[in-house]
Amino acid sequence: MSVTVPVSVTVSVTVTVTVTVTVTVTVSVTVSVTVSVTVTETVTVSETVTVSETVTVSVTVSVSVVAKRRWRKAPSPSLPPSSRSDSGAKRRRLCLRRREATVARSAVSDTDPVSVSVSVSVSVSVSVSVSVSVSVSVSVSVSVSVSVSVSVSVSVSVSVSVSVSVSVSVPVSDTDTDTETDTETLLSLPPTRLGYRPPTMENLEKIRAALPEAAKDLKLNLQSVLTDSKLDENKRWGVAIACAISVGDAELTAAVLADAKVDEATLDDAKAAASLMGMNNVYYRFRHFMEGSEVEGDYKLPARLRMNRIARPAGDKVAFELYCLAVSAINGCEACVRSHEAVVRKGGMTADEVHDAVRIAAVLHGVGHARRIP
């Protein structure tokens, strides 16, 4: 049977999308706050102070008194005639009295002192009573009134118009009249029968053929991850080169380098990513292991390791970060994987592209192990 299949496919797709979105949001907030404060407090302070003091003053005064003698001549008594007979006795008595008076007066000296004692007692008593009464009244009344009115009006109008026109022309010539070829048969044909030629991997085919039967899945996966990928050819083979070097299999690395069709910048960046991640993955994996331990703070030190190539790659910066991400996945450094993944996603790469890079890393790592099976 001879089959000739020239295929002509014409696809015309017209997509018209009209989206009208009207959003009206009205928010009305009314807040009323009334605060009344009344404080009531009564404080009474009573204090009594009593001071008692007694003062005794003793004063002694000496006074000299000079007494002057006054002599009076006693009158001579006139004796009546009837008493002249005893006048001699009366005179004797009178003289005796005068003599006694004189002796009494002479008993007082002209300068005899007189002693006067004065005693003064003073008693002082002071009583102080203090009474303080303070009355404070506090009353707090808080009234809060909040009124919120939200009105949201959303109007979405979507109009999609899709027009697809497919024209397939399949002239088939068959020299075998007993064989019938239909459209289903054509669709089941492999891509090579329809004119598609995948990239040649002659050297990797030798690696695949040499894998043991236990690694049959890896045989198929090695071809699929390098031919069916969301990555462009440069990034796909750049990832493969970096990962093959990281696996440490010289023959596998040589086969990948021979089959890869990449520019010099991609080749240089892939080699740099493999070597640099060989250092960084060990260091930052250790730092990650110590997180949460009692001595974590002891290792929060500067790395003091040169890694300038990350900041200045030879080619595309995002592609270089993708190579580093794939190698970090092989070496099992979680901190590095998270760091490089964030950079490539921020650089515009999709999750599918990142996923395909890790698929290539996983298969090449598995092939390296499979080649060591005895």
Number of H helices, E strands in the chain: 11, 6
Higher pLDDT, 373 or 52: 373
CA 349 from chain centre, in angstroms, equals: 33
Fold observed for domain 202-370: AhpD-like (1.20.1290)
Other beta carbons less than 10 A from residue 188's beta carbon: 8
Containing 35, the helix (H) or strand (E) segment is strand 8-37
Residue 25 pLDDT > 50: yes
* HSE toward the beta carbon, residue 305, CA cutoff 13 A: 13
Lowest mean pLDDT across 78-87, 156-165, 195-204, 359-368: 78-87
* Mean of pLDDT over the chain: 75
Residue 233 pLDDT > 60: yes
26 pLDDT band, cuts 50/70/90, is: confident
Residue 249 pLDDT > 90: yes
User: Sign (positive/negative) of CA torsion 218, 219, 221, 227?
Assistant: positive
Mean pLDDT, to the nearest integer, of 162-189? 44
96 pLDDT band, cuts 50/70/90, is: confident
Whole-number pLDDT of residue 140: 60
Q: Measure the CA–CA gap between 200 and 259, rounded to whole angstroms.
A: 7
Active-site residue identified among 95, 243, 324, 333: 333
To the query of whether residue 336 is one of the catalytic residues in this protein, the response is: yes
Residue 255 pLDDT > 70: yes
Whole-number pLDDT of residue 197: 45
Residue 133 pLDDT > 60: yes
Residue 33 pLDDT > 80: no
Residue 32 pLDDT > 90: no
pTM above 0.75, yes or no: no
Q: Measure the CA–CA gap between 209 and 205, rounded to whole angstroms.
A: 6
**What is the percent of the chain where pLDDT is above 90?**
43
Domain ranges of the chain: 1-38+141-197, 202-370
